[in-house]
Structure 1
Amino acid sequence: MIGPQPAFVGASLAPTDPVLAADVQVGPPKSGQEDEVRFGLTSEAGLNDGLAFPFVNLAIAISLSAADGEPWLGTWIAHNVLWEVGAGVLGGWLIGCIFGWLTFLIPADTKLAQTGDGLIAIAATFVSYGLTEMIECYGFLAVFITALTIRHSHREHDFHREMHDVTEQIERLAMMILLVLFGGALVNGLLAPLRFMDVMVSVIVLLVIRPVAGWIGLLGLETAWREKLTLSFFGIRGVGSFCYLAYGLNNMPIEGGERLWAIVGLVVLLSVLFHGLTVTPTMRQLDRSQGRDPDAEGIPPSGLQRPG
């Protein structure tokens, strides 16, 4: 039977985070910066934030079952997979419909879009996450569905750009703070428990397992091989991995917590370096191959994001 540690590490490393590299994010609404590769990588990150969580709960269930002998499979499938995923999708959709109606469709001058305040997107995020977590389903997944639903409620409205700009600035500020904290953890010995095998596994995860698994997952997709290769390679690891790891360690008895922190920390560090150095030339070459000028106005800025 599979042990909790491999499942836990795999689930913790599943979330991707294109926030760390601006070139792989879709651009602002109605900007024309929404090609298949950028859309695919951004969508993957949104879905992974929710769909990888059942496997964190799988590791927790296996660990608790090993400690008390209680069966875990039925509860995991019924609650952690069917209920939490299904309720997360439905809850996110309902909240998105409500916010979409209040923002764009309410037949009055009091519609939220009239305020011009892009912080409404942040409010929708907190409301969606909080309410869905109250009914024990995946808040991250619900937030993703809420955002899609709000966008779909009135795709051509200019207020989408205002919400995008505000959330992007907050996103950059939060990422700056988290990267500073991550750097402090590295200086204070985060990677000290690593063994040689851990380093090898971390490199293989980024340079072999992710690209191969991504390529297999894209079999049957009718697109150019360059796009498939780009989608497969740029599985950028970031904050989501730390969130999943912290959640799991606080909810199950498992040995070697410091070593797990070191492994995940190394994968994130290597991802920032590998993907940060390669994303700009790769995406510029991809733009050229698709007939776009990467130096023209409207192409996303290159490299790692920095606070504006």
Structure 2
Amino acid sequence: MAAELHFAMALVGAIIVLAVWLTRLSGRQGLAMPSSALMLGGMVIGLALPQFGSNLDPVAVPLPWELAAEVCVIISLFATGLQIDRPRSAIWWRTGALLVIGMPLTIAALAWAGMAWAGLSLAGGLLLGAVLAPTDPVLAADVQVGKPHEGKEDAVRFLLTTEAGLNDGLAFPFVWLAIAIAAAGGIDTELLQRWAIDDLMMKIAIGSVSGAVLGWLVGKALFRWSARAEMNVVAADVVVLGAIFAIYGGTELAGGYGFIAAFVGGMMVRRAGHAHPAQAELFAFAESLERALTALLLVAGGVALGLLLPYIGANHIAIALLLLFVIRPIAGLASLLPYGMPRRERLVVACFGVRGIGSVYYLAFAATKAPFDGLYTVWAIVLLAVLGSTFVHGLTAEGVMASLDQQRWWKRHGARQRSGITGRPPDEH
């Protein structure tokens, strides 16, 4: 067993290094491109070492998946909050539309597809919709705003960043509704009323307020009340971990959604020391830690997907494809229809809803709280959707965003060019 474990560790390390190296060699940046390679490499490990892979069975042992994904997501959410340079209040209305309209539409459509095409119960279908509805802040680096002080806060990037930052927390009420239905064996008016008050309204409110207050206090302590003007790299690394766990853990203890608090807290820390150079150090450490955890989770997800191959049918693949190419684009377009966005920008926002680690966390979390039918089916669909999303979005995101940047540049400066004033369009990455 020890030799098999060491062999698997060597394979995992080689897969991670090879995937990232090939990405750098191709000239692409970020983690989005090698993500699918990491999952496919994990599948190779699972199929080559079935005894080792069985230790990562997400249905049999969901708790390690829950804990690892939880840490990864809260670090990513805090880092995403740190990225927001400007609040851009006018665009928040569009973010709200994606959350209030787009997410419920996605949940309803996926729940229907799970029940109609995969034979899931109401609780199982609702769980499938709830865990796959949120977009992911972990794997969406290529379509998000830039690092602190870097900018790149156009409407498309800002929308995709803020949506990913908030909808991980806002999916929680629907996960809890699925858990309540599974535990009760059905749904009634009393259950819905209790859910609406406790899980939908109270926990969201507590998470938002707690994240804002704790984030403001942490930011003030770091950047305003500290006697030192400088913060070295080691101190920044320690501080970011302390800030993340304090905000998340404090909010969960208060009965709120820690995911919402992590993102809001990151934004408040950013506001408290907007021009402080340590902001870059905080973000760099959080990003590097997030990427390391994500790489391991993606390989593990590939191992699990290899184990789940016997449970995968054409209907499961169809549901994953339906989410990526039909449900998400239609829900996104419907949400943004009332707003005067250029058609192409609206289409990009609607199509680039990356799925990833947040879905893994929610599914593992729910599996430890109530007995759900068809968990192997739900896990298979979720991991297929993550694999498809990392491949499709990772392959296209950089080129699409570069094209949008160039189009935006020519729209602003085209007249000047025609008048003989020279300039350069943004470089393609």
Structure ID, larger Rg: 2
Are the counterparts in 2 of residues 92 and 142 from structure 1 also a CA contact under 8 Å?
A: yes
* 1:130 alignment partner in structure 2: 249
Closer, same or farther in 2 for the Cα pair 1:69/1:266, shift >3 Å? same
Q: Please say if 1:249 is aligned against 2:381.
A: no
CA RMSD after TM alignment:
2.0
Q: 1:67 to 1:224 in 2, by over 3 A?
A: closer
Asked if structure 2 preserves the Cα contact closer than 8 Å seen for 1:60 and 1:252, the reply is: yes
Runs of 4+ in 1 over 6 A off after TM superposition: 67-70
Identity among equivalent pairs (%): 40
Q: What is the alpha-carbon distance in structure 2 between the residues aligned to residue 294 and residue 163 of structure 1? A: 28
Q: Are the equivalent residues in 1 in contact too, given 2:139–2:356 (CA < 8 A)? A: yes
Equivalent position of 1:147 in the other structure: 266
Question: SS where residue 31 of structure 1 aligns?
Answer: coil
Larger fraction in helix: 2
What are the residue-to-residue correspondences of 1:60-79 with 2, within 5 Å?
Answer: 60-66=179-185, 71-79=190-198
Name the aligned partner's letter for residue 97 of structure 1.
W
Q: How many angstroms apart in 2 are the aligned matches of 1:151 and 1:93?
A: 11
1:4 aligns with 2:123: yes
Q: Which residue of 1 aligns with 2:427?
A: 295
Equivalenced residue count is 293
Please name the residue that 1:182 is paired with: 301
Gaps of 5+ in 1: 297-301, 303-308
String of CA shifts for 1:107-163, please: whole Å, max 9, x gaps: x5157x644533222321111111111122211111011011111113222221121
Match of residue 205 from structure 2: 86
TM norm structure 2 = 0.65
**Contact preservation (8 Å) 2:138, 2:357:** no
The match for 2:275 among 152, 156, 173 is 156
> Is residue 237 of structure 1 aligned with residue 355 of structure 2?
yes
Give 1:31's aligned amino acid.
E
> How far, CA to CA, are the matches of 1:68 and 1:80 in structure 2?
15
Shift in alpha-carbon separation, 1:68–1:102, aligned structure 2, 3 A:
same
Q: Confirm whether residue 14 of structure 1 aligns to residue 133 of structure 2.
A: yes
2:70 equivalent in structure 1? none
Matched, 1:35 2:35: no
Aligned to 2:315: 197
Structure 1 residue 197, shift from structure 2 partner: 1.7
* Cα distance in 1 between the residues matched to 2:124 and 2:395: 31
Report the residue type matching 2:167 in the other structure: N
> d(CA) in 2 for partners of 1:240 and 1:65?
25
Q: 1:243-287 deviations in whole A, cap 9, x for unaligned?
A: 011111111121111111101111111111111111122111111
Alignment partner for residue 262 of structure 1, among 372, 376, 380? 380
How far apart, in 2, do the equivalents of 1:114 and 1:186 lie? 43
Who is 1:305 aligned against?
none
> What are the Cα deviations for residues 19-74 of structure 1, in whole angstroms up to 9, with x where unaligned?
32432121111112222211211111110110011000111112222269893112
CA distance in structure 2 between the partners assigned to 1:15 and 1:68 by the alignment: 24
Letter in 1 for 2:374: G
CA contact (8 A) 1:65 1:71 kept: no
TM-score (norm 1): 0.89
- Does the 8 Å CA contact 2:137/2:165 hold for their aligned counterparts? no
1:99 paired to 2:218: yes
Stretches of structure 2 lacking an aligned partner (at least 5 in a row): 1-110, 112-121, 411-424
Question: In structure 2, what is the Cα distance between the partners aligned to 1:69 and 1:183?
Answer: 38
Distance between the aligned counterparts of 1:92 and 1:48, measured in 2?
15
| Secondary structure in structure 2 of the residue aligned to 1:290 | helix
Give, as a single letter, the amino acid of the residue that structure 1 aligns with 2:393. Answer: H
Contact 2:181 2:187 in 1 (8 A): no
Q: After the TM superposition, which of the residue ranges 70-79 and 194-203 deviates more from structure 2?
A: 70-79
Residue matched to 1:206: 324
Deviation (angstroms), 1:204:
0.8
What amino acid is the match of 1:295?
D
User: 1:35–1:247: structure 2 CA closer, same or farther, 3 Å change rule?
Assistant: same
In 1, the alpha carbon distance for the partners of 2:371 and 2:291 equals 35
Please name the residue that 1:45 is paired with: 164
